[in-house]
Amino acid sequence: MAGPEVALEVRNLTRTFGTRAAVRALDLTVYAGDVYGFLGPNGAGKTTAIRCMLGLIRRTEGDVAIFGVRDPVAARRAVGAIVETPAFHDWMSGRDNLRIACAYAGISSAGAETEIARVLDRVGLTERARDRAGAYSLGMRQRLGIARALLGRPRLLILDEPTNGLDPRGMREVRDLVRSLALHDQITIFISSHLLAEVQAICNRVAILQEGRLKAEGKVEDLIASRQPRRFVEVGAADAAGLAAALSAISGIEVIGPGENGRTRVALVELDGAALNRALLDRGVGVDALVPETRSLEDVFLEVTT
């Protein structure tokens, strides 16, 4: 049986500026249907890699294929993108900006108005479409950028830090929009971001880049699990002295120290949480809290990029 369809394949992508390599031998595979997070500290090479993928700048080395198409001009038809902060003709209306983009993208004037109405509605800008783009808030500009990227129904959307500089509401709107584009419009999403909680919430797979090199790649839950050599729980009991005595007597765990809210932080070496609970009960200690410590994508990111 054929494997899942590959939306974006990057092989050995390298881009140097003078003597400095901004992207080094980067390999990425994004499958159709993925919401793929592209992470890395400032200057890691994310925007440079994205520009190379889109054919906006020359690659020093390497191959990029979008839905199997290698020719950059043909491949671009399947992709919509915003790279860094989208620029507009600020003195023109949002709608006129999209008209220009349609002309540029070769969308016939017969089809353009319907397509513009569709993308404006999709990003929630219909009401403000007649206003000058220059009068838009940052959040509205990002949404106009996404609207422009959606013209012509791309199957892959590449978004370079789409929530950069947005307020919490603006971030939520963009996040919900991205989710909905993936879910309802079946668009594969490739999104670079610094907001790790957000990436963890919306992405199924991620790549972490540092100094142009791929440091980690895979499913979010696998990355978290594979970097969790020991599991920890926090245990609380009304009888603190009894708890401390019991914990020091139970084997297969290690008491690490105080945790949150008066609880005790314990490493599960050979016991799991349920077994620890039973062992405490056997010793007459009534456990009122047993909280597993879950690690976040942020923990993985900070480890991988030190």
Ligand X SMILES: Nc1ncnc2c1ncn2[C@@H]1O[C@H](COP(=O)(O)OP(=O)(O)OP(=O)(O)O)[C@@H](O)[C@H]1O
CB of 122 to Mg ion, least distance (A): 25
Radius of gyration for the alpha carbons in the chain, expressed in angstroms and rounded: 24
Q: Give the residue closest to Mg ion by C-beta.
A: 47
The 20-59 contact track toward ligand X, x by CB under 6 A, reads --x-----------------x-xxxxxxx-----------
Rounded Cα–Cα distance for residues 233 and 273 (Å) = 7
Helices (H), 208-261: 220-226, 240-249
* Secondary structure of residue 191 in the 3-state scheme: strand
Size of the site for ligand X (CB under 6 A): 10
User: Which of 83, 147 has the CB closer to ligand X?
Assistant: 83
Rounded Cα–Cα distance for residues 52 and 42 (Å) = 18
CB of 123 to ligand X, least distance (A): 23
Rounded Cα–Cα distance for residues 188 and 43 (Å) = 25
Longest dimension (CA), the chain: 79
The 46-75 contact track toward Mg ion, x by CB under 5 A, reads xx----------------------------
By CB under 6 A, residue 17 contacts ligand X: yes
Hey, what are 227's tokens?
A: 């970097």
By CB under 6 A, residue 91 contacts ligand X: no
- Which of Mg ion, ligand X, none does residue 42 bind (CB under 5 to 8 Å by kind)? ligand X
Q: How many CB atoms lie within 10 A of CB 55?
A: 16
User: Applying CB under 6 A, which residues contact ligand X?
Assistant: 17, 22, 40, 42-48
User: Applying CB under 5 A, which residues contact Mg ion?
Assistant: 46-47
